[in-house]
A and B are shown apart, each in its own frame.
Chain A
Amino acid sequence: MTEPIPVFDERPDRYKGYRGAARALLERERVGVWSDVLARTSRGDFAGIILPRSETADDRHIVIKMVSGYNVGLAVANVISMVERGYTEAHYKVPEKEFPVDGGKPNVVLFGTGGTIASRLDYRTGAVIPAFSPGELYGSVPELADVCNLRTEKLYGVFSENMAREQYIGLAEAIGRAIREEGIDGIVVGHGTDTMHHTAAVLTFMVQNPPIPIVMVGSQRSSDRPSSDAALNLIHAAKTAGTSDIAEVLVCMFGPTSDEYGLLHRGTRVRKMHSSYRSTFRTIGDIPMATVDRDEIVPLRSDYNRRREDREVTIDAVFDDRVSIIYYYPGMKADVIDSLIDCGYKGIVIAGTGLGHVNKPLYPALKRAHDAGVHVYMTVQTLWGYVQMYVYDTGRDMMELGVVPAANMLPEVAYMKLCWALGHSHERDEVKRLMLTPISSEITRREPHDGYLIYQGGLPEVAEFVAGNLK
């Protein structure tokens, strides 16, 4: 069945992505996106379908997809003429298969915040079309049906770096409703990985004492590629949400880079540690909660909140985002802090050097901040270890200026917690009480020896370990 070719002037978006010289050429030749053209150029003839152009690309080339499936760009300056021979518009539609319901399987809700958990390719255009509804997900990750019954709800469609106050509150409230009103067995939150640990931390503070697992998941390799970690992560997360007895906010991502097992990290102690590796999420200063694979969940520790039958949960979704993080560097000037005070910020988390230090020239600014009612907390940029401000005089000086040591809270976690605490109160002692009373291990009483393990490559014993285990 061939579709009628739409009248040229009535085609919507016929110059999609083209501007300047490239657009002028298309207008002159009366061809556009999805036109199947024969182009005469000074470098010879080229035939193919004109594709939309990326907005960020230059205006000197036209992109066509040839019969071979390859895309090539034709320089506008080289094009002599273009003749439309046909028209092939891409259709964006994801096939759906009904997600089977099995009364014997746990019920899981998947909240989407953005990013793609699963997707499908449109080979004509190269577009990656996200799959999200249960039917779409079942079509691309059919194993999910072996694990749970699934309901999905798209809350947001933002990149994870654009998650902020509004989304945190909305997400926490949606989780509360799902727990109280739906009688579900677990929640999965699909999230971009960049700020997944920020959201995991704030959810821990906003959703307290949940009766079921709340599992955050994402992927480090996009789901359009055969090697993606997305499907396996999603299967692990759904399994954890549906069957694990850890009723806490967890991050579920690859343990090793191999397709072997996932790790369940506590939402307040986890951090993205590599810009691209699959095994990027690591528990810092402690060990993870459990491992998860297709067959089982193996706890690595026993000090966690157990799954409950009741539907009680404390939703405490407040957030004052007038807080900033200062990543200290040698030679930092006081005006950095002054400007935050002047701009009306109410909280500052400092990632200090070593045990938690900044240089003397900042002291006046810190005092000024204190006097202005700004809450200042100290964390360490070493990530591992505790703030200890008694060891050196400078630390004691700073405490006198009102800087509060935040123990071994990770800087991002301290940031999220200070936003949350300031949502409750601006009274100094109350904020301090909220900050320093751990809700879920954001401050731990002790650091075990194996909470800090960064093996150094190149050493013979490490080489032996690596050779004997999958990476």
Chain B
Amino acid sequence: MKTPEQMTAEDYARLGFMAGLEVHQQLETDTKLFCRCPATRYSPRYDAELLRHMRPTMSELGEYDGTALMEFKTRKEIIYRIARDTVCTYEMDDAPPFSLAEQALDIALEIALKLDCKLVSELHIIRKQYLDGSIPTGFQRTTIVGVDGELRVGERIVHVRQLALEEDSCREVSDRGHRRVYMTDRLSIPLIEVVTEPEMRTPAEVVEVGEAVRRLTRSTGKVRTGAGAARQDVNVSVKGGTRIEIKGVPSIKMFRALTHYEALRQKALLDIRRELLGRGLRPDTFAPTWHEVTALVRHTTVAPIRKALKEDGVVYAVRLPRFRGILRHRTSHQHAFDHELSGRVRVIACLDGSPNLMHDEDPGMSIAPRLWDAVRRALDCVNGDSLVLVWGPAEDARLAASEVAERAREALIGVPSETRQARADGATNFERILPGPNRMYPDTDLPPIAITDERVARIEDTMGPLPREWEACCRERGLHLELIIPLERSGHRDLFERVVTELNVPPKLAAVVLGQLTRWARRRYALYCDEERIFELFKAFAADRFTREAFRSLLKSLGSDPGLKVGDVIEAALPRSSAPDPQATVNRALAEETHWRAIVAPEARLKAAMGVAMDAGLRGRVPGREVRVLVDEALSAADIEREVNHD
């Protein structure tokens, strides 16, 4: 199977590769979207648990939605872990919503404006059903803020279908057997969902667009960053295939492998379909059969089956007529078609052992050949048929058998509509049947909210420029992209403007301090310094209280305690009373610490000597370039001295 590196844009065009993105980005707000709980960081701590089941509600045709039915079949017990500090009766679905957080709406509107979306005039909160339990209500409250936007990515325009403001779901802790456990700390944190049109034609383009969307949302400085704050879904299809949604991709870089292998999986499934049709099979007449065969395999030595039997489980065999060879047909660089069957068994029948099925062409673990023969006879197999075994508690195993048969039948139709889970290796696992569009209905708990022209005008007046406009402005100030991007991500863009225009700090220095040093302090020491104190620090710098070399240590000290005053921190690090004489300090330091003398290369020698001099109390007090002049002089003097001695 080809790797992404082995495929060209033309190859993808031949496949009919199409992809679109759904980017979920949490907003930086004080409260959650529909209650007054703090929208804080996650914590694994919890102090109570509650249990719910999700029931499907009928759709208008009197049928249950495919996903709904699947979730109901799984008979999951959903456990929610709740902590009193982060969750109230609203998230527990024991109280109606409070009014929507205006702060979140303002941020969503700003991003919608930056994406050139058409803003709606009146928000209507909608309930979007989710039966997997990821939201205790069974639906997500969501609302469209804008539609039909566009985003410039390099030289092309990517169209944005819609931007929605919605509440985040729970974090899954575990999903074993019939029990799924969720943490609720993330639940109901405001997030926006940006949906692009399916206009990406190569995996590389998907990455590029993903990065552009992220850059744009982050440029507001009002979105959350860090693990899980931005999560992407990607929709992929190929010619003749189906829209497949790969959920919850944590890193944009992963899109390349994920979309590539998904496209190839779809192609493999289409090849399988053609092969099966060629064998004369048709979806409406395809007749797999399944029977309980526990008695026949009772004496097997295969560990997972023995374990199931010991726990009073049963074994089913499924006969797939004329499927020989299909189960071993590669569908990704990691898997063959039997992985498709195994996914359904895992999710729908809740049999999550590994392996959870085996078949008679399985090169791995298998029951003895004579047992296969017995099972084959029991199911009246003929040459060319395939046999699959599943095992587990009686009800689950029976469901597993029927799901195997159903998935095999779907192979005759093509690529089933599914959502799939991203794996780190670029492959995907079956997650659930793709929900239909018919799962939205109005939230009767909240009235519509008018988006007035005044409100839009206020946001337009206060919002910063677009990334590309701002980038141009930065370039004019002599900044290159390596400085611009970290600065943009830091969220300190407005502070940068103030520092540069009000204090006349050189733009490059301001960009380094705000874009790189604050990030360094945060990442390395988890220190965070508020903008007001950073501004104070720049003010002292502009007044020549210290030199640029001191920013790093001063930021670290300030970040260690939000109560510290800027003046005190500077005074503690660089007391005015002990200001040294530069010339004398350099000479003394270089005489006392002499390891630099042994270095021959002139550049390295100078660097070492500079370090010695700065460490002697000059860092932060005397500009580096002045020290350098003094060190240079001292080094030249030393050279002359050495030459004289040599002579």
Contacts and interface: CB of A to CB of B under 8 A. Distances in A.
Interface of A: 41, 43-46, 56-58, 60-61, 63, 66-75, 78, 90-91, 94-95, 119-124, 126, 128, 139-140, 220-221, 223-228, 231-232, 256-260, 274-278, 457, 463, 466-467, 470-471
Given A43-B121, A126-B441, A259 B52 contact: yes
Contact of B57 (A224, A258, A471): A224
B57 A71 contact: no
Contact of B139 (A46, A223, A225, A467): A225
Contact of A225 (B60, B137, B142, B447): B137
A94 B62 contact: yes
Nearest to A467: B47
Given A44-B148, A73-B122, A73-B448, A277 B94 contact: yes
B114 to A, nearest CB: 15
Nearest to B54: A226
Given A45-B118, A226-B129, A276-B96, A124 B136 contact: no
B438 A123 contact: yes
Contacts of A94: 62
15 contacts: A45-B148, A60-B450, A70-B124, A71-B124, A72-B144, A121-B441, A123-B439, A124-B60, A126-B442, A225-B57, A226-B55, A260-B51, A278-B94, A466-B47, A471-B82
B214 to A, nearest CB: 23
Nearest to B440: A69
Given A41-B121, A463-B47, A257 B62 contact: no
A251 to B, nearest CB: 19
B147 to A, nearest CB: 7
B57 A70 contact: no
Contacts, number: 175
Contact of B58 (A60, A63, A95, A274): A95
B118 A224 contact: no
Contact of B162 (A45, A68, A470): A68
B447 A57 contact: yes
Contacts of A70: 124, 126, 142-144, 162, 164, 440
Interface string B159-193: 00110100000000000000000000000000000
Nearest to A78: B121
A126 B439 CA distance: 10
Interface of B: 47-62, 68, 82, 84, 89, 92-96, 118-124, 126-131, 136-139, 142-144, 147-148, 161-162, 164, 437-442, 444, 447-448, 450
A258 B121 contact: no
Dominant SS at the A interface?
A: loop
Contacts of B89: 276-277
A257 B94 contact: yes
A152 B56 CA distance: 23
Contacts of A258: 50-52
A345 B49 CA distance: 49
Nearest to A226: B138
B321 to A, nearest CB: 33
A139 B62 CA distance: 8
Contacts of A60: 450
A63 B62 contact: no
Given A63-B124, A227-B93, A120 B58 contact: yes
A470 B57 CA distance: 25
A231 B57 CA distance: 11
A140 B84 CA distance: 35
Contacts of A74: 120-122
A275 B439 CA distance: 28
A227 B138 contact: yes
